[in-house]
Structure 1
Amino acid sequence: MMPSRYTEDELIARVFAPIAGPAALGLKDDAALIEPSPEATVATVDMLVAGVHFFADDPPGAIARKALRVNLSDLAAKGAAPIGFLLSLALPADWTNDWLKAFAAGLAEDAATFAAPLIGGDTTATPGPLTISITALGRTSRFAPRTGARAGDAIYVSGTIGDAALALALRRDAKLAARLSPLARAHLLDRYLLPRPRLDLVSLLRHHASAAMDVSDGLAGDLAKLCAASGVGAVVEAPTVPLSDAAREAIALAPSLFETALTGGDDYEILFTAGPGFAPPDAVTRIGEILAGPAAPQFRSAAKKPLIFKKLSFSHF
């Protein structure tokens, strides 16, 4: 027999109201109240579905944190600092109070860490898989678009590329996972479960980025999107793409995973362009240059030969 569960009103009052920010008005109204600001407001929304964006048996707190973090990554890529988020949650038939409490605890932890309070949302039941939609709001003094790249700009990425895509490969291939060192395996799996939104780069992007986006669907494909939006081409020296030690270990075991690293999704690092004179910090790597276009971006090997990928990025359709 299914244990007693919260009603919708109890769910809101007991689980989500305690973690909401002032703009939520105690979650007692049908809308949030956001005070005006001299800075522009930036809005973004991402939907995550069990079995597509995460595994249904992942820890509920980690699922919540990933759902928030992928939205904060979009804000960071636009040079926006978060001011809050709205949560829509479609719960399947087997949800429990304990699962929901753990989900909310993870959400509350990241909301505090990233100064991004819950300000409203909606809950419903679904016959399908768990579905989470978050709309994040932020503010910026200068928006970093996809459309500003110009010939001669350098191309940069933050952090390391491919860790999350390689982790997904490990979760689907137990034999490969068993061949990796425990440290490398743990690093990759953590990067898939908990992306790191690059809010530390907000100021840099506001001041220096001519174009920017986060790497959510794969470096190769997302660069193609940025180039198309800006009407330019690009060349990337593939050996300069930053890889973690864990990714290098996995690729040494299965060289075909290098393509996976460059085309797989869920990195949530920042891809951006900047003009001459920009000096990147340690957390940022130059990987190529923008060319006069429009044209598809080229990835070149150490021998300067073009790399041909089976597909450029993850696609839902």
Structure 2
Amino acid sequence: MDNLPSTWLRSPEWLADHLSAPDLVVVDGSWYLPTQHRDAQAEYLAGHIPGAVHFDIDTVKDTTSDLPHMLPRPEGFASAMRKMGIGDGASILVYDGLGLFAAPRVWWMFRVFGLERVFILDGGLPRWKAEGRPLEEGRVERRPAHFTARFNSGAVRDLADVAKALQAGVQVVDARSSERFTGTAPEPRAGLPSGHMPGALNVPSSMLTIEGRLKPKSDLMAIFAAAGVDPARPIITTCGSGVSAVVLGLALDAVGAREWSVYDGSWSEWGADPHTAKTGA
């Protein structure tokens, strides 16, 4: 098996060896920004890892919120998992079509709602395909299963939490590009200003990966040190809409951070709020 930087990553070789395991559910968690001009649902139907179900973060969400793909309530998540055929005691292997982009968000969602054995395919679908491994077409339907959602409130932060954290000097780390962070490039969502929360640090998620894979642990440690991030202290991760913030969280976990949480609303909420302080906007 590969010498992987995170205990939550699994190699394509591992997945191939465990693909028929009765308790393993393979999940295609692909999702793309509007600017990427890709259709995750269509790509799933055209070719996915055998047995994989499709998890759409724009469907499994809080349908009462105007913000993009906010976490659903526990009962909503449990209902979605029942329909997907993911039950208590399942082991999950998540992948996405970019290698390491949306899969960590889905990994985190499962863990927020109580599943422990949740892993991410190292290199995602691109690496699986590059190694010549099999794909299948069409939709996978699993038998409905009972899922008990146990919500971990400590893994999630809201706007008020982040405002208090910034005032208290807690590390808030933004995974958006440096250009969006400084306000020199526009946000991908129309009408949303760029810029950042005063006091926030910036570690672009693109710096943490190479060819859709998490960089080696020593590289990650150097990147965080250069950005002034101390993994030994509590950290709140943020980004545009709570997706790449979890890539950042996965990298922090890989270097030993144990007190990290995700600001679910991220800049989509903070940037749009007329009452929040902004720098560089």
The two structures have a TM-score, normalised by structure 1, of 0.26
Q: Structure 1 or 2: larger helix share?
A: 1
Q: Structure 1 or 2: larger strand share?
A: 1
The two structures have a TM-score, normalised by structure 2, of 0.29
